[in-house]
Structure 1
Amino acid sequence: MAIEYREWREGDDLALLEIWGGPETAQARQFRSALAVSSDGGAGTSWRRCIVAEDVLDGVGIPVAAGVVYEASLHPERLWTYIEVARDHRRSGIGATLLTMLRREAGHAPSGVEKLRAKVEPGTPGAAFAEAFGLVPIQRSRLVVVEPGALKLPVFPDDGGAAGGENAGSDVVMDLATGSVELTDVVGRYYSSIHGWDSPGVLSVGQVQKLFLDELTGAHGAIVLRARPESAFGAGVKPTKKGRIRAFAVSYAAPADPDAAPGVPGTGAAGTENADGRETPTDVFVGHEPGLEPADAADAVRDILSLIAYQHPVMLELDDSMAALRAAVEPLLDSGKARLVGPETLVVAD
């Protein structure tokens, strides 16, 4: 076996697909699309270096492996990297050579960033490879389905202060347009607050809309849980302003794919069934005002989750950094009222 290395060329994707076959993991499905011709960036493209390994026989090279490293506009403190080697060429040093070459290329990234990150599934060859070369887990992500009625509905006072009245909750539970500036603000700050382990940088209103709330993401609707409105003129005077948002839930209209890589919004339509007879869960993004005290944040998230999962199942991404959401969901996993969909995902990094 004679292995030679070169830059990625047009058509390599088709040649490698013939050798690799279908993706072994959700990460392979997600990151194969990152394998592309190298770029110096600019004009809306990211800096990227992509290298192919060929098995050469009688002067003819057959692509058997590839690796890529590239800058990310979101989470710019590290470069993404991905390496895949054909099954029958593993444990022969190809992956190690590709990683060494990619690290060398990373030293020339325009941003000056050299640290790497990748996504792997525990117990896979990719996870073992990452561990062997010093990439350690910095975050765990799980895809969870919460079953209908898993959480008891909260009891809200009505406008007159009586618990469970005719108008109960009308001043604190509200629909909100996904284009709302108020919603965009809290979603962006929440996302930043739960990614201190891998900072997204400063998110603009446009970025938040594009990532989470734009029609192209499938964003279908949103409800918010507000603090009780208060009047500046005393308890006997009706408030003129709504209470601030405590928690939010954004739903997505595209069909859910249980095999999709975590972190990519997309939802199922409530009421339809999967092949196993279960109702297709709606994909939701649940979060809270990051300025809340931990106990208040946990209560707010639990309340809004109970509302959206009252009649239909919902699917959500659960990162270990999402403390309030974990407080609501992990007891449901323990009791069987929620279930994992697919394997865990680890973000590993230098």
Structure 2
Amino acid sequence: MAIEYRSWREGDDLALLELWGGPETHQARQFRGALAESSAGTNGTPWRRCIVAEDVLDGVGIPVAAGVVYEASLHPERLWTYVEVARDHRRSGIGATLLTMLRREAEQSPSGVSKLRAKVEPGTPGAEFAAAFGLASIQRSRLVVVEPGALRLPVFPESDNGAAGENAGSDVVMDLATGSVELTDVVGRYYTAIHSWDSPGELSVGQVQKLFLDDLTGAHGAIVLRAEPGSAFGPGVAPTRKGKIRAFAVSYAAPTQDPDGRPLGDTGAATDVFVGHDPALESADAAEAVRDMLSLIAYQHPVMLELDDSMTALRAAVEPLLAGGKARLAGPETLVVSD
């Protein structure tokens, strides 16, 4: 076996897919799309270096592995990297050579950033490879389905505007348009707060909308839990302004296809939601607000949410449900690893 290394060329994707077959993990499915021709990082194109390993026989090279490192506009403090080697060529040093070459390329990135990160699934060859080369976990993420009625509904007091019974809480639980500037602000601040381990940088209103609330994201509804409304004229006077947002939930349109493009049909799948809170809240208040929000949105139908270890308020609500069988994992855990 004679292995040679070169830059990515057009057509390599088809040759590699024919040899690799279907992706072994969700991370492989996600990052195979990053394998592409190298870029200098000009004209709005992110800087990228992609290297292919060929098995050469009688002067003919067959691509068997590839690796990529590239800059990201979101979370710019690290470079993303991905390496994949054909099953019958593993444990022969190809992956190690590719990673070494990519680390050298990373030292020349235009931004000066050279620290790497990747996503792996625990217990897989990818996770073992990452650990062997000094990439340690910096975050764990789980997809969790919360079953209907897993949490008791909160009891809201009668409001100052006279709402009671079924209408109690109408001044604190509200639908909100996904284009709301108020919602955009709290979503952006929450996302930044829970990613202190890998800063997203300064997020503009437009970026937050594009990432979480734009029609193209599938966002089709939002509900917020507000603080009790206040009055500018003191107690006993009808409130003149809405309370600040304590917690939010953004729901997304159900997918019509699975990750491999097969139609799902009507499966009764859980609704995909993004749940968070105002990061300015004290920890106990944040935990209470998130728990109340989760009880409302999962009262009659199952919901699916992403649970990162950095989401302490959401973990406080969800982890007891996992332990008690009222919530379940929707797939394997994902680890973000970094050097």
The TM-score with structure 2 as length reference comes to: 0.96
The equivalent residue for 1:165 is 165
Is the 1:158–1:170 Cα contact (8 Å) retained in structure 2? no
Q: Distance in 2 between matches of 1:338 and 1:189?
A: 27
Residue 325 (structure 1) shift? 0.2
Is the 1:54–1:61 Cα contact (8 Å) retained in structure 2? yes
Is the 2:163–2:169 Cα contact (8 Å) retained in structure 1? no
Query: 2:289 pairs with 280, 300, 318, which one?
Result: 300
Question: Relative to structure 1, is the Cα distance of residues 312 and 60 closer, same or farther in structure 2, using a 3 angstrom cutoff?
Answer: same
Letter in 2 for 1:148: P
Contiguous gaps of at least 5 residues in structure 2: none
Q: Distance in 1 between matches of 2:159 and 2:302?
A: 30
Residue 27 (structure 1) shift? 0.2
After the TM superposition, which residues 39-58 of structure 1 pair with which residues of structure 2 at under 5 Å, given as runs? 39-58=39-58
Q: Distance in 2 between matches of 1:325 and 1:68?
A: 34
User: CA offsets, 1:156-181, max 9 Å, x none?
Assistant: 11324889524201000000000000
RMSD in angstroms over aligned alpha carbons?
A: 1.6
Q: Distance in 1 between matches of 2:6 and 2:147?
A: 50
Q: Distance in 2 between matches of 1:210 and 1:310?
A: 29
The equivalent residue for 1:37 is 37
The equivalent residue for 1:77 is 77
The equivalent residue for 1:322 is 311
Is the 1:156–1:163 Cα contact (8 Å) retained in structure 2? no
Letter in 2 for 1:189: R
Letter in 2 for 1:204: S
The equivalent residue for 1:344 is 333
Question: Relative to structure 1, is the Cα distance of residues 41 and 137 closer, same or farther in structure 2, using a 3 angstrom cutoff?
Answer: same
Q: Does 1:23 align with 2:23?
A: yes
User: CA offsets, 1:30-64, max 9 Å, x none?
Assistant: 00000000001122210000000000000000000
The equivalent residue for 1:309 is 298
Residue 182 (structure 1) shift? 0.3
Aligned residue for 1:24, secondary structure, equals: coil
Is the 1:154–1:303 Cα contact (8 Å) retained in structure 2? yes
Residue 245 (structure 1) shift? 0.1
* % identical equivalent positions: 83
Residue 259 (structure 1) shift? 6.0
Q: Does 1:156 align with 2:164?
A: no
Q: Distance in 2 between matches of 1:329 and 1:300?
A: 13
Aligned residue for 1:14, secondary structure, equals: helix
Moved over 3 A (4+): 160-164, 256-260
Aligned residue for 1:40, secondary structure, equals: coil
Q: Does 1:243 align with 2:243?
A: yes
Is the 2:287–2:317 Cα contact (8 Å) retained in structure 1? yes
Q: Distance in 2 between matches of 1:217 and 1:254?
A: 11
The equivalent residue for 1:176 is 176
Letter in 2 for 1:311: Q
Residue 288 (structure 1) shift? 0.1
Q: Distance in 1 between matches of 2:198 and 2:256?
A: 27
Q: Distance in 2 between matches of 1:223 and 1:37?
A: 42
Is the 2:163–2:170 Cα contact (8 Å) retained in structure 1? no
How many residues get paired?
A: 336
Residue 230 (structure 1) shift? 1.2
Residue 234 (structure 1) shift? 1.8
Aligned residue for 1:46, secondary structure, equals: coil
